[in-house]
Amino acid sequence: MFNFLKRNKKAASAPKEKRFKTVREAYGVTKDVKPWIGSALAGIFLGVWAIGIGLGFAFGHPVYAAFVSMPLAILAALFFFTRLAGTAAYASIEGQIGAGASVLMAIRKGWTTTPAVAVSRTQDMVHRSVGRAGIVLVGEGGAGVRALLADEKKKTERFAPGVPITEFIVGDNEGQVKLRKLQKKLAKLPKKLSPAQMREVRNRLKAVGGLSMPIPKGPMPKGVKVPKR
pLDDT given for residue 210 in this prediction: 55
**Each residue of 73-99: pLDDT tens digit?**
999 998 888 888 777 777 777 777 788
Return the CA Rg of the chain: 23
Name the helix (H) or strand (E) containing 109: none
- Give backbone dihedrals phi and psi of 55, rounded to 5 degrees, phi first: -65, -35
User: Residue ranges of the alpha helices (H) in 34-144?
Assistant: 37-59, 62-93, 99-105
Question: d(Cα 88, Cα 33) in Å, to the nearest integer?
Answer: 6
Q: Half-sphere exposure of residue 141, counting CA atoms within 13 Å on the CB side?
A: 20
Instruction: State the first-to-last Cα distance of the chain, in angstroms, to the nearest integer.
Output: 37
**Each residue of 2-20: pLDDT tens digit?**
344 344 445 545 566 666 6
Say which residue, 121 or 31, is predicted with more confidence.
121
Over residues 119-147, the mean pLDDT reads 92
